Structure 1
Amino acid sequence: MSPTSTDTVKSNLGEAGAHLKNAAADAGSAIKNAAGVAGDELRAGRAAVKADLADSALAGIAALEEGGGAAREQVDALMDKGRDLIDSAADLIRERPIASFGVAFAAGWIIAKLARSGGAEK
């Protein structure tokens, strides 16, 4: 007995069903594998971000520690310049005491004059 057209259709539909079932199983495996890989990548990415943030925090702390030293260096340099300026002024006063007294007197007189005229305007 030869197979009828109906038998052939049923056979082909059965084969198609089996292939669809295999395709669904393969798709499920692929999704499961993709989720696993994505989870692994997410964990690796999270670890990398944490490491970068930790490195950034350490670099920031190091910069703050060095900032204090840099500030001290700047203050020391300013203090040295101030001492040099005072020494220079003292040397000038020793070399020319009368001229220094005259300049100081004139500056005091001008400041007093400005202070009096500023008070009269009010």
Structure 2
Amino acid sequence: MSPNATDSMKSNLGEAGGQLRQAAVDAGAALKDAASAAGAELKVGKANVKADLADSALAGIAAAEDAGGAAREQVDALMDKGRDLIDSAAELIRERPLASFGVAFAAGWIIAKLARSGDK
């Protein structure tokens, strides 16, 4: 018996249904694979973020240590300038003792006047 149009249509619809079923299975597998790959990428991304944050923390600590060294350098420079100023003053006092005494006396008198006027 030769297949008629109805039997041919049923056969084609059956084949189409089978193909659709296989497409759904393949789509599900593709989604699972994509989810698995995305999960793996998220794990890698999370590890990279943690590493970057750790590197940032280490750089911050190094900067803080450098800041301490820079502060010490500035304090040392200020101390050197202070010593130079004191040496200059001592040299000036040795060269001109009367003028130095007069300036010191005048400065003390002015400070005393300002202190007394502040008490009133």
Deviation sequence 1:37-94 (CA, Å, 0-9, x none)? 1111111111111111111122122222222222211111111111001001111111
- 2:94 aligns with 94
What is the count of residue pairs matched by the alignment? 120
The farther-off stretch of 52-61 and 29-38 is 52-61
C-alpha displacement of 1:5? 3.4
Deviation sequence 1:21-48 (CA, Å, 0-9, x none)? 0110110111011011111111111111
Q: Where does structure 2 lack aligned partners over 5 or more consecutive residues?
A: none
TM-score, normalised relative to structure 2: 0.90
- 2:71 aligns with 71
Matches within 5 A, 1:19-58: 19-58=19-58
Q: Where does structure 1 lack aligned partners over 5 or more consecutive residues?
A: none
User: Residue 12 of structure 1: SS of its match in structure 2?
Assistant: helix
The farther-off stretch of 34-43 and 65-74 is 65-74
- 2:11 aligns with 11
Instruction: Give me the CA root mean square deviation.
Output: 1.4
